Amino acid sequence: MSAFESTAPDGTISLTCSLEGVNCAGCIAKIERHLNSVEGVVLARGNATTRRMRLVWDDAKTNSVVLFDAIGALGYTAHPFDPTQNQPERSSLLGPLAVAGFVMMNIMALSVSVWVGLVTDMGSGTMGFMHWLSAALTAPAVFYSGAVFYGPALRALRHGRMTMDTPITIAIFVTYAASLFETLRGNEHVYFDAVVSLIFLLLIGRVLEQKLSKRSGMAAENLRAMMNVTARRKTHSGHEDVPADLLMPGDEVLIEAGEQVPADGILLNNLVQVDESPLTGESLPVNIVTNAPLAAGCLLVTGPAEMRVTHVGSDAQLSRIAALAEEAAAHKGQMQELADRFARGYVPLVLIGGAVGFIWWYFIAGADFGEALMIAVAVLVVTCPCAAGLATPAVSARAVDILMQAGIVLKSGAALERLAQITQVVADKTGTLTTAQLQPDADMNTLRAAAPLAAGSSHPLARALSGAVPMKAASDLSEVAGQGMRTQDGRVLGSAAFVGVASSAEGPELWFQQSDQPPVRIGYDETPRDGLDDFLQGLRQQGLPLTILSGDREGSVARFAKAHGITDWKSEQSPEAKLHYLRSGDEHVLMLGDGINDAPALSAASVSASFAQATQVAQSAADLVLLQANPARLIPAIELARQAHKLILQNLRFAALYNIITVPLALAGWLSPLLAALLMATSSVIVLANGLRLRMQG
């Protein structure tokens, strides 16, 4: 298995690859269909914006070499995506662009001379020489710069396919061939300037498109780049510097303040502070104590730190998060599927449109050959499905990036669409809206008096009390196992029976008594999650009702709901009951849960969320994973999803309007090939730039 491949718990192998020769959603769709027909392939999902594909396969039936060969058989090139290497996509276009630009400037100078000659009666011999000189100058632009378009188009045609490059290639070669034919005939009108300008403008559009595309879908790349650091590994004679990818579980490394953690591990020395913002979005430093986990990519604020490595490479949390981000960017929603189907069927219509335009103008309208040809070329160039194909992935890739930066892992692009449509939020209580920590509920004088007794006990309730009011343990303590604590001066802390009272109250409790004073009850409430109040306020502002479905007893759920102004709640809910509730309603529900018993409900909801600290089962079932256990982070995520939905609709409407307007104009002869090329390139740039308008609030 190569260093770029990772193994999932179910034994499947996954890899992200970069694709060369891919220029539209139709290309991605063809590769997906072909790979999904290969035995052993579990998943093949690509993204036209990032030009990458996520592959998952059964190692017993196939391997990456077979899959890359299958991609190559379609006329494309695939290689493992390596975030540590600069991708050559945009730089590979600069040479063809420079040649096309140089040729265009010289051709324009010759064309001006010819145009002036038409007025000043330039001799036919001189004009012919100028035309042949233009033909020679144009050749490098056509056969070198134009290879960016006709190379993929010809490879696709050899496999019986057409791509968006097909009509562009036909337009380039038809115009060049027609110009050569007119030159041979000694005609005054040739179109070398048009074909070179066409190539130059199309290449400018392609460069801008790739530049904007690179700004979308950068989250996973940036995360993986954080692991491309040098680690200081402990040896028998001291320390040695090694690349982080050469570390092994069990290695001990030294990290200085200001350095990045090179791998997942556990802290061996005393308290340090780390910046976990790359993982959680939390800007404040976090205290890490001895034997607590450290995650790769985090920045050490105070140090030094000694760490024992536990996970490296693709097994590190940072790599797993990056893989989820890539999978989300590749996952298609309903609108993307519709756009892909449109793009697949559009290219043949483009060719038919160009042919119809030529036939009408030349054979019916009586236009001369050159005019009819330029109209056909304009139709071929302007009617490009690029804008429609990029409409959804341009926004989805940007959304995945923004959510990742905010500490939210979106596992499915389709979930982004569903998140924008939710009408209700359902949440578990214990461990979801609350933490596992218990908070003692009594007046402060009672807590201070009981704290010295609690400090000497290991009982969870006593430890919670001691944590809330830290004090030294009393020196004259005696403990009755499972019942309580007693001091020689008559203070007692323990169960109701131990203190000698009858209690019918619900929920966890301790009783405290001092000498001859009446016993006092210390109740315990679950500690609300950080950000709970902001979460509830945000839901109200969004107009989203919240329902609690909890397995806890009625009294506990009722107290919590009343304390936080929640009116809709249900207690003693089994996993089956939660599942029934979700399936019986008509609402689009966002389910928030953390436990194994929440997994069925998380899977059944329209869209679901969990925390990185939740059980692995809950995380696997959820569509979104919050790296920071703060439910308030869902509010800007919901707003972002709704904003993304609006931008996708804007892009799709723009793509439809663009074709509705430009195709008739081209067929009517009102668009030159140069203006058609400019409009086509601009349409793709506008769609990509519109996706970059996406912003997260809060």
Q: What tokens appear for 376 in the block?
A: 């056909």
Name the token pair of 456: 């000497």
Quote the strand ranges of 481-622, DSSP E: 484-487, 492-494, 509-513, 520-528, 546-549, 569-570, 589-592, 607-611
Backbone phi and psi for residue 367, each to the nearest 5 degrees, phi listed first: -70, 155
Q: How far apart are CA 145 and CA 176, in angstroms?
A: 14
- Catalytic site includes residue 525: no
Cis? peptide before 249, omega within 30° of 0: no
Sign of dihedral through CA atoms 418, 420, 422, 426?
A: positive
State the DSSP code for 613.
T
Residue indicated by tokens 């020679």: 136
Buried b (16+ CB within 10 A) or exposed e, 442-481: beeebbebbbbbbbbbebebbebbbebbebeebeebebee
DSSP letter (8 states) at residue 474: P
Q: Report CA-CA distances (Å) from 302 to 233, 271, 286, 288, 325.
A: 19, 9, 10, 10, 30
Segment holding 107, helix H or strand E: helix 91-120
Closest listed residue to residue 409, CA positions, set 305, 332, 328: 328
The answer to whether the beta carbons of residues 391 and 687 sit under 8 Å apart is yes
User: Between the CA of residue 631 and those of 169, 401, 531, 598, 620, what are the distances in Å?
Assistant: 52, 19, 6, 16, 18
Residue 493's nearest CA partner among 506, 507, 477 is 477
Strands (E), 413-483: 424-427, 434-441, 477-480
- Assigned token pair, 40: 């052993």
Going by C-alpha positions, the residue among 475, 497, 501, 498 that lies closest to residue 488 is: 475
Locate 654 and state its tokens: 């723009």
Burial grade of 218 (CB within 10 A; 0-12, 13-18, 19 or more): buried
Active-site hit among 165, 428, 598, 623:
428
Token couple for 54: 């996520």
d(CA 494, CA 224): 52
Enumerate the H helices of 121-216 as residue ranges.
124-140, 147-158, 165-185, 192-215
Are 499 and 519 spatial neighbours (Cβ–Cβ below 8 Å)? yes
Answer whether 591's CB lies under 8 Å from 600's CB: no
Distance of alpha carbon 532 from alpha carbon 536, whole angstroms: 6
Q: At a CB cut-off of 8 Å and minimum separation 6, what does 79 contact?
A: 17, 18, 20, 68
Report CA-CA distances (Å) from 268 to 51, 252, 265, 304, 315. Answer: 42, 9, 9, 11, 21
Compute the 3-state secondary structure of the chain and give helix, strand, coil in percent, each to the nearest 5.
50, 20, 30
Q: Which residues contact 364 (CB under 8 A, 6 or more apart)?
A: none
Catalytic residue list: 428
